[in-house]
Amino acid sequence: MRTNRAPIIGIDLGTTNSSAAMVEPNGKVKLIPYKGGDFSIPSIFAVDDKGNELVGHEAKRQWQLNPRNTIYASKRLIGRTYRSDVVSQMGRQVAYGIHEAGGEVEIDVAARSFRMSEIAAKILGKIRGVAQDYVQMPVERAVVTVPAYFTDSQRQAVKEAGELIGLEVVRIINEPTAAALAYGVGKKLQERVLIYDLGGGTFDVSIIEIRDRVYEVKATGGDVFLGGLDFDQAMISHVINEFYDRHGIDLSTDPVAMQRIKDLAERTKIDLSTRNDAPFNIPFIAMTPHGKPLNIEMSFDRRLLEELTADLLDRTLQTVARVMIDAGLSVRDIDEILLVGGQTRMPLIVDRLSRYFGKAPSKGVHPDEAVAIGAALYAHSLEDDTDLKLQLLDVIPMAIGLERAGGAMHVIFPRNAAIPNAKVLPVTTSFAGQTEVMVRLFQGDAERVADNELLGEFTFGGIQPGAAGSARVEITFDVGIEGILRASARDVVTGREITSSLRVSGR
């Protein structure tokens, strides 16, 4: 090592799998291997029947027999309020229990409760442990990637997960941006690239202009409830409906049967990326009322999979079209299309994008490795002794604003506003003797705040009491390079900084 301190590592904290990478002393970027040669770790946490906590491959191995105490796809829940539509959808799809605690989501595991940032901390801790085994020294710092479409609350929850295990998350960067770094660093490019990132649980599209070491995001968009898991779910629903039509038995009420179907659906989907058909057989999946064992005996072909998931693919292309409009670009302005995420191996995705853009996507990045590698390159650029200097110019994925009278959204930062960014908002008191001002902040692109995500409430105290409207306060809202919002306030008359506190909804 160049120093006695471990390098800052890059972590791709994925919905289904996570990985890490680092730049070695020789300047080469490398994925950090796990024992057995794997470079990815399943983003799964479990507690077994003896009370042991399991993470990664160990948790996945016992998933079929212990579905209620095995937590997967938790990234979809992190930083969300319990009343979120995403939480209710997840509650219908998973075997583990989800409940509300102080407005936030908690998960039931073996008679214990875990907050979402605690689950993320377990996964980050496993990744760090693997990295420490590799570098043979403590790993204390990391750059962690998140979907470009993550809200402020979700980004803060990832930061908190690092804090829980003493891992300094020195920077959060967006997954498509990391993939662009993996593609472009060291090539002296002058290109506009579109990153189509369809992972296990989330979908992002970003258009990034690369000017050698400057990476400027022109526009971004996405869907945090669209990914490979939803393609699996389409297959699962088909299998359950077919079995019910044939036998009159609803397998969705049996967690162990559902887990067996989920496992085979994922494997079959992967097989259909390289072959045209595949058997779908599960023995002894249920029993008749007379005690006769029943099997699932059917097959999938590629065309059936494409029919079942056509609406999901259409949703991704609608997002592509919207991001192109936001960026003010035509298909001729895009030099390369980069595919990121395991679901992009589906041949129809490559075919549809090729037809949309009039050219095939680039093979310049590995769909499973690019995000971790890009994170590691950016981490290396933050080191004190580095010769790699990178500049990221990113954007806010969704508008941030506050509630106006009548429930309308007053936008402070519009969608795709450049970050870092700051805005000053003048406010005053509305009644005599008022000593504090409270504003409710939301994130989303809907016109009414009720249809957007509540980020939290900022309360500013210490105002000199007086008549209504007598106070003159300036609130500064500052979105940093990581897309995380901070606020401060100043009394214009006295120049005194006013204390501010943030109560983030669901955290």
Q: Which domains can be identified in the chain, with CATH numbers?
A: 9-226+318-394 (3.30.420.40), 228-306 (3.90.640.10), 396-504 (2.60.34.10)
Q: Which amino acid is at 444?
A: G
The pLDDT value given to residue 386 = 87
* Per-residue model confidence (pLDDT) at position 506: 38
Of 179, 144, 173, residue with least CA distance to 368: 179
Cα dihedral 140, 143, 149, 151 in deg (nearest 10): 40
pLDDT computed for residue 464 by the predictor = 82
**pLDDT tens for the chain, residues 1 to 507:** 445 788 999 999 999 999 999 999 888 999 999 887 889 999 999 999 999 999 999 999 999 999 999 999 999 999 988 988 889 999 999 999 999 998 889 999 998 999 999 999 999 999 999 999 999 999 999 999 999 999 988 999 999 999 999 999 999 999 999 999 999 999 999 999 999 999 999 999 999 999 999 999 999 999 888 999 999 999 999 999 999 999 999 999 999 999 999 999 999 999 999 999 999 999 999 999 888 999 999 999 999 999 999 999 999 999 999 999 999 999 999 999 999 999 999 999 999 999 999 999 998 899 999 999 999 999 999 998 888 999 999 999 999 999 887 899 999 999 999 999 999 999 888 899 988 888 889 999 999 999 998 888 888 888 888 899 888 889 899 998 888 888 888 888 788 887 665 555 433
Q: What per-residue confidence (pLDDT) applies to 486?
A: 87
Catalytic residues: 12, 75, 175, 197
Beta bridge partners of 355: none
Q: How far is CA 124 from CA 117, 166, 203, 389, 462, in A?
A: 10, 10, 21, 26, 39
Residue 364, strand partner residues: none
Q: Where are the beta strands (DSSP E) in 230-370?
A: 277-287, 293-301, 336-340
Strand bridging mode 190-198 / 168-174: unpaired
Q: Which residues contact 406 (CB under 8 A, 6 or more apart)?
A: none
User: What is the arrangement of strands in the sheet containing 473-479, beginning at the earlier edge strand?
Assistant: 421-427, 473-479, 485-491, 497-498
One-letter amino acid of 381: S
Q: Give the containing element (helix H, strand E) for 41.
A: strand 41-42
Bridge partners of 195? 206, 338
Q: Could you give the CA distance from residue 143 to residue 171 in angstroms, rounded to a whole number?
A: 5
Q: Which amino acid is at 85?
A: D
Tokens representing residue 497 in the block: 């900084």
* Collapsed DSSP state (helix, strand, coil) of residue 383: coil
Tokens of 358: 């009039």
pLDDT of 1 reads 41
